[in-house]
Structure 1
Amino acid sequence: MEVAKVLHMNGGVGDASYANNSFVQQKLICLTKPLREEAIKSLYCGTLPRRLAMADLGCSSGQHALIVVSDFIKTVEKLCLELNHKSPEYKVFFNDLPGNDFNNIFKSLDSFKQKLCEEMESGIGPCYFFGAPGSFYGRIFSNQSVHFIHSSYSLQWLSKVPECIDNNKSNIYLGRTSPSNVVRAYYEQYQRDFSLFLKCRAEELVEGGRMILTIMGRRSDDPSSKDGCYIWEIMATALNDMVLQGIIKEEQLDTFNIPFYTPSPSEVKLEVLKEGSFAINCLEVSVVHWSAWDEWSVLDFESESGYNLTQSMRAVAESMLVSHFGEAIIDELFSRYQEILADRMSKEKTKFINVTILLTRKP
């Protein structure tokens, strides 16, 4: 699987689009708002820049990037009023892999800017918006050109599927039956990727620049534990059932693995300390229940349990599944997936674990 070519969230604004099926991502952005505001205030008051550049890495095609941009500009403008400073000039970069539906963001920019100006009666500084397609496991921006970097629910995606995991039978990610070499391969790929990410961002951020990252993670020290792998184990169950019924070939399933890793807080901290370019200001863990999809959904609460989460997982994983298995099995797969999800959610408290870290670029 060539991740940079295959991986992208479903574009557009249809029923299976990421834009309409990312309720937990919205909730996380709301949860991390106080920490972002703290970081932005500290950044501005410490440097008082005339020009501010921010970037959202893994922006996808929904409104999340615009929520973060709005919060960023509002926070700075309120500080300017308090300090009697002239508004700075803003540069905003939206980054994701080339297959991302950037147009979904760009089409809404005019209405976004108009709404922002209306909300900030005192006005805002000039704003310039740019697309920056490419993998964040490499350089994206010029040296010391960005002041603030945000990324939410993107860094759990690896740059590639780990090598030498052919014996990960019946799994599509780490699971309780994954051999130790598979667990080790996933962790080592995560280490290489996250270390490279930090190195690249250290070159791009100005001295004293801030970076806030939220990653789908786990509490357990065991990479194959349930709290980091359960959502993919359920999909693997649906795929295995389709193998037993002859809908999918066994060798197809055995050669499909997700380029994904859910790190623990200690693993995130270790890589930051090893790379050495950043000071850790805050490291925290949050929980979002799978039912958050139903809480945020525009559908009524009588809708079938698991539907919203199924639609969200389809928006996230469909591009990879189609690339490997073909389009013909997709509707059947997610119908089965929804049935299993509904059953599990009715019997246990299912949740996502999230690791958020706030970093400052060292001198």
Structure 2
Amino acid sequence: MREEDSGSIRFIPSSLSDGEEGDKHGNGGKTDMYPFIGAFSMTGGDGENSYASNSILQRKVIEKARPVRVKSTKEMLIGLDFPPCVKVADLGCSSGQNTFLVMSEIVNTINALCQERGRDPPEVDCCLNDLPDNDFNTTFKFAHFFCKTGKGLCFVSGVPGSFYSRLFPSKSLHFVNSSYSLHWLSEVPRGLKGNKGSVFMTGSSPRTVYEAYLNQFRKDFSLFLRSRSEEMICDGRMVLTLIGRNARDPLYRDCCHFWTLLSKSLLDLVHGGIVREEEVDSFNVPFYDPDEGEVTEIIRNEGSFKIGELETHEFDLGQSRDEGDYMLGRDKSGEREANCIRAVSEPMLVAHFGQDIIDTLFTKYAHHVSQHSDCLRKSTVTLVLSLIRK
């Protein structure tokens, strides 16, 4: 892009779903039972413990989903006969450079196909969405470089708001991407009081805990699809990646599952007299890792989208490490994985337990990672879906 063609940057507030009052997560203000939900966001800034500095795993997930995203982008452009303006949304963009990896890939794919077919490149409207407390400032530090790397005009905007609500005008979106965001729920499910000593679910959790999490995911994902169906044009494309699980006992999570290790680390602090047991029992993460069957059932029942592709890739939190960490031993690798989980959970943990326990908690976490570094039985996968608006 020529210097005089550099794209513009704007910031657009978003309304909540259906005009109803609610909190910033679009859950109708239901944060009284779990007030730490109001603090949900990735750790901002670019410091040692920030999301921007600890999102290597997410970057690798973006790269792994690239073939599906490139194919979907080309199909969208050809199917819509090369529209003069293409509106792209990245939902749950978080902060840092990863967001522009996706946008650069989409823009480059569009430009390359236009050149191949002898078409003028379209203007591209790149909309970055996350919750209002997201650190958009760190993300927008990279926007100028992004706008200068492509051909044609690119416009970048921030759209704060929950993607479990309407965010854009009707029939305005051509392409939607969401990477590693949809496993986060709008709220902690009700009915988890029997889930003692765990921040998520384990094999010892009552089956009602699984049912509560599944029902919340079904409600949230259906709302996400319904909201996007109103915003996307016919034959628009959507590519979603999220953490899922292998189809087996729905309560099973392996010994080195990241939330299992966080639960163990918190219980260490209970045994050390640093945290009260009832504090741990009242903390549950707003997270769910569906299997393929649950995802496809919800998509088909909602009815607005056709499934183009559905891939599963093995998930390993060890991918959060730098390649050189393997040469530095288990302790260094454990620190990397602990930092990855800290970056996505620290604001909620601080809101519930206070800042003073955080360093000790993740020192414990890193130790548990090092003890389970040879764990081969993984219960988690990454799901990659491409969807077509009917």
TM range (shorter): over 0.9
Which residue in 1 is equivalent to 2:328? 302
**Could you tell me which amino acid in structure 1 is paired with residue 341 of structure 2?**
M
1:8-157 map, 5 Å: 8-47=41-80, 48-114=82-148, 116-117=149-150, 124-157=151-184
Q: Distance in 2 between matches of 1:347 and 1:286?
A: 17
Of 247, 252, 268, which residue of structure 2 is paired with 1:241? 268
State the percentage of identical aligned residues.
40
Structure 1 residue 227 displacement after superposition: 5.3
Residues 315 and 381 of structure 2 are in contact (CA less than 8 Å); yes or no, is this contact kept in structure 1?
A: yes
The verdict on how the C-alpha distance between 1:281 and 1:226 changes in structure 2, with shifts beyond 3 A counting, is: same
Structure 1 residue 112 displacement after superposition: 2.2
The verdict on how the C-alpha distance between 1:137 and 1:235 changes in structure 2, with shifts beyond 3 A counting, is: same
TM-score by length of 2: 0.87
The one-character-per-residue Cα deviations of 1:213-271 (angstroms, maximum 9, x if unpaired) are 00100012433222598210111011112112211011111111000000001110000
Q: Distance in 1 between matches of 2:160 and 2:237?
A: 21
Which residue in 1 is equivalent to 2:5? none
Q: Distance in 2 between matches of 1:113 and 1:14?
A: 25
Q: Distance in 1 between matches of 2:216 and 2:301?
A: 15
Which residue in 1 is equivalent to 2:24? none
The verdict on how the C-alpha distance between 1:2 and 1:54 changes in structure 2, with shifts beyond 3 A counting, is: farther
Which residue in 2 is equivalent to 1:283? 310
Structure 1 residue 289 displacement after superposition: 2.5
Q: Distance in 2 between matches of 1:41 and 1:93?
A: 19
Q: Distance in 2 between matches of 1:266 and 1:350?
A: 18
1:186-197 map, 5 Å: 186-197=213-224
The verdict on how the C-alpha distance between 1:228 and 1:352 changes in structure 2, with shifts beyond 3 A counting, is: farther
Residues 238 and 333 of structure 1 are in contact (CA less than 8 Å); yes or no, is this contact kept in structure 2?
A: yes
Residues 189 and 216 of structure 2 are in contact (CA less than 8 Å); yes or no, is this contact kept in structure 1?
A: yes
Q: Distance in 2 between matches of 1:32 and 1:320?
A: 29
Residues 289 and 351 of structure 1 are in contact (CA less than 8 Å); yes or no, is this contact kept in structure 2?
A: no
The one-character-per-residue Cα deviations of 1:22-55 (angstroms, maximum 9, x if unpaired) are 1111111111111111000000011121110000
Structure 1 residue 300 displacement after superposition: 7.3
Q: Structure 1 unaligned segments of length 5 or more: list them.
A: 118-123
Q: Distance in 1 between matches of 2:39 and 2:327?
A: 34
Structure 1 residue 165 displacement after superposition: 1.2
The worse-fitting range, judged by mean Cα deviation, of 350-359 and 35-44 is: 350-359
The one-character-per-residue Cα deviations of 1:340-359 (angstroms, maximum 9, x if unpaired) are 01110145465741111100
Q: Distance in 2 between matches of 1:201 and 1:228?
A: 36
**Could you tell me which amino acid in structure 2 is paired with residue 148 of structure 1?**
F
What SS is found at the alignment partner of 2:372? Answer: helix
Residues 143 and 205 of structure 1 are in contact (CA less than 8 Å); yes or no, is this contact kept in structure 2?
A: yes
Which residue in 2 is equivalent to 1:270? 297
Residues 161 and 167 of structure 2 are in contact (CA less than 8 Å); yes or no, is this contact kept in structure 1?
A: yes
The one-character-per-residue Cα deviations of 1:289-324 (angstroms, maximum 9, x if unpaired) are 332223456x67315231111111000110110010
Q: Distance in 2 between matches of 1:356 and 1:245?
A: 41
1:149-228 map, 5 Å: 149-226=176-253
The one-character-per-residue Cα deviations of 1:141-174 (angstroms, maximum 9, x if unpaired) are 1101110000011000000000121111111101
**Could you tell me which amino acid in structure 2 is paired with residue 207 of structure 1?**
C
Residues 2 and 160 of structure 1 are in contact (CA less than 8 Å); yes or no, is this contact kept in structure 2?
A: no
Whether 1:331 aligns to 2:359 is yes
Residues 281 and 360 of structure 1 are in contact (CA less than 8 Å); yes or no, is this contact kept in structure 2?
A: yes
Residues 4 and 135 of structure 1 are in contact (CA less than 8 Å); yes or no, is this contact kept in structure 2?
A: no
What SS is found at the alignment partner of 2:240? Answer: strand
Q: Distance in 1 between matches of 2:385 and 2:272?
A: 44
The verdict on how the C-alpha distance between 1:332 and 1:83 changes in structure 2, with shifts beyond 3 A counting, is: same
Q: Distance in 2 between matches of 1:70 and 1:289?
A: 26
**Could you tell me which amino acid in structure 2 is paired with residue 243 of structure 1?**
V
The verdict on how the C-alpha distance between 1:173 and 1:62 changes in structure 2, with shifts beyond 3 A counting, is: same
What SS is found at the alignment partner of 1:301? Answer: helix
